[in-house]
Amino acid sequence: MNDHRVASADPARSTGTTSATTSADAPREEVGEVRRFWQRLGLPGLVDVHTHFMPERVQHKVWGYFDAQGPLIGGLEWPIVYRRQEAERTALLRELGVRAFTAMLYPHKPGMARWLNAWAADFAGRTPDCLHTATLHPEPGVGAYVREAIEAGARVFKAHVQVGAYDPADELLQEAWGMLAEAGIPVVMHCGSGPAPGEHTGPEPIARVLARHPGLRLIVAHLGMPEYEEFLDLAERYGQLRLDTTMVFTDFTEKFMPFPRRALPRLAGLGDRILLGSDFPNIPYPYAHQLHALERLDLGPDWLRAVCHDNAAGLFGL
Ligand SMILES: [Zn+2]
C-alpha cells in the first residue's frame, strides 16, 4: 500500500509491543514474539507474499512519498517502522522466520518495467529466500518482456492499478495475462480502491480480466480493501483467485477501512486461498501486529497455519 501517518495513535502501543521506532537494532522482543507465533502453530516459519524490495533510489522515493505527499485520507500519518538498509531488512525477515518473501515493485509510467525486472532478477539471484518477482505495464513490448521474465525464472508478478493508473483489462495486457495464466504464475495485484481510489480500481475491471482469463492466479492485495465483499464474490466465482491479508485487520486499517464482521465466515470458507501479506517494510506498526490481527479473528489454528504458511508454500512449491 502507499501512504501516510496515523496522527493520533501509536499502533505499537495498542498492540502491546514496545518498539515502533526506526531504531537500527532489531527489536529483540519483536523477533521473539513473531517466532513464538509460528512455533505455537507448529509451523516451520512464515511465507509472506507481499513485501517490498526495489532499487534503493526508488525505495527512497517511495518513502519520501509516504512522508511528504500528505494524507490521501484525512488525519493519517504513516511512520514507516522498518526504514533501514536493504541488507538489514532481509536479515530481519530471516530473524523473524519468514522463509520466503517477495520483492513487490511496480512502475508508475511506461518504460520502467523492464529495468525494474532486471533489478528484481539480480535481487532474487543474491537473495535465495526471495521469490523472484517481476512486474508489467500496459505498453508496447510488454508481452516480450513478460516472456523474458518468465524464462528468467520469475515466480510471481506484481501489478499496481492505482499507481500505474491503467485498466487491468487493457488490450495491451491480454497476451501477458494469457501467458501468466498458462504458466500458473501468480500475480499480486493492488486493485482495490484503498487507501485511495484510482480511475481503474475496484472489482469491475478485475471481473473483466477474469472473464477472459478465468485461470489467472490473481492474488488480490489487501483483500481488495475497501471492496472486500465484492472481491470475495469474485473469489467464490473463480477458483484460482486468491487474496492477501496485507494491512487488513490491523488497528491502523480498521480505523478507516474496517473489514466487515459479517464477511468473516466467507474468509473461513476461502481459508485455502488467503495468503499472508504484510507490506514490510513500509508499515506503520511492528510486523507482529499483522499476525496478531489475524489471530484475533478467531478463525482457529488450522486457518492460521494455512494462511501464514501452507497456502503459499503449496502455491510456490516451497
Ligand atoms: Zn504493498
In a domain, 107, yes or no: yes
What CA–CA distances, in Å, run from 122 to 84, 125, 149, 172, 186? 20, 5, 12, 27, 20
Calculate how far, in angstroms, residue 236's C-alpha sits from the geometric centre of ligand 1.
24
> Please, which residues bridge with residue 135 across strands?
158
Q: What is d(CA 215, CA 40) in angstroms, rounded to the nearest whole number?
A: 35
Q: Is 260 within a domain?
A: yes
Q: 290 alpha carbon to ligand 1 midpoint, in Å? A: 14
* Domain range for 270: 46-316
Cα of 280 from ligand 1 centre, angstroms: 8
Our CA dihedral for 67, 71, 72, 75, rounded to 10 degrees, sits at 150
Residue 310 forms part of a structural domain: yes
Do residues 76 and 4 make contact, with C-beta atoms less than 8 angstroms apart? yes
Q: How many domains does the chain have?
A: 1
Q: Give me the CATH number covering residue 70.
A: 3.20.20.140
pLDDT tens track of the chain, all 318 residues? 544 333 333 333 333 343 444 444 557 889 999 999 999 999 999 999 999 999 999 999 888 887 775 555 556 778 888 999 999 999 999 999 999 999 999 999 999 999 999 999 999 999 999 999 999 999 999 999 999 999 999 999 999 999 999 999 999 999 999 999 999 999 999 999 998 899 999 999 999 999 999 999 999 999 999 999 999 999 999 999 999 999 999 999 999 899 999 999 999 999 999 999 999 999 999 999 999 999 999 999 999 999 999 999 999 999
For residue 157, give the nearest of 114, 102, 210, 203 by alpha carbon. Answer: 102
Q: Could you tell me whether strands 46-47 and 242-244 are parallel, antiparallel, or unpaired per DSSP bridges?
A: unpaired
Residue 41 lies in a domain: no
| Residue 157 maps to a domain | yes
Q: Does 19 reside within a domain? A: no
Predicted pLDDT at 3: 40
Calculate how far, in angstroms, residue 51's C-alpha sits from the geometric centre of ligand 1: 7
What is the CA(291)–ligand 1 centre distance, in A? 16
Element (H, E) at 91: helix 86-96
Dist. CA 77–CA 71, nearest whole Å: 7
Instruction: State in Å: Cα 300 to ligand 1 middle.
Output: 26
C-alpha of residue 52 to centroid of ligand 1, in Å: 6
Which residues surround the ion ligand 1 when the cut-off is CB under 5 Å?
Answer: 1, 279
